[in-house]
Amino acid sequence: MNDDLTWQFDVTAIEWLIVLSILIILAVVDAVATRRCHYKAFKKPNAMVMREGGQMSIRAEELVPGDIVLLQSGDKVPADLRLFRVKGLQIQEAALTAAFVFATNPHGR
């Protein structure tokens, strides 16, 4: 009888240690993911532009009027822009309207 109680205690202690180690691992993974997220959120955006006949990547702060900014799917718009060649444009306006609906190009180009 006494041996049964000792065995149950050991299994319970092992289970407790497993749960505790899983919680510690999850806390570490969450801390790392949160740190990466904050880093990406505060990272200054770059812009791909056409200058001097070629493409180059510059910091968004260095954009000047007259720069031709090249955007690809998933890019964040680095500044106020005028679009003059568009194909299949969809814009996620959630940051502006709090509605998760894509706005499409009304001209269909």
Tell me whether residue 109 is in a domain.
no
pLDDT in tens, 85-107: 888 877 776 666 666 666 665 66
Give CA 69 to chain center in angstroms. Answer: 21
Provide the sign of the torsion angle of the four alpha carbons 78, 83, 88, 90, taken in this order: positive
Do 2 and 39 lie in a common domain?
Answer: yes
Query: How confident is the model at residue 72, as a pLDDT?
Result: 82
Residues 107, 44: Cα–Cα separation, whole Å: 32
Do 38 and 70 lie in a common domain?
Answer: no
Contact yes or no for 47/69 (Cβ under 8 A): yes
Do 36 and 54 lie in a common domain?
Answer: no
pLDDT in tens, 13-66: 888 899 999 999 999 999 999 888 777 767 777 888 988 888 998 888 888 888
Two structure tokens written together for 46: 């770059």
Local structure of 104: helix, strand or coil: strand
Do 33 and 20 lie in a common domain?
Answer: yes
Query: How confident is the model at residue 75, as a pLDDT?
Result: 80
Contact yes or no for 86/76 (Cβ under 8 A): no
Do 71 and 28 lie in a common domain?
Answer: no
Where in the sequence is the domain holding 15, given as residue range(s)? 1-43
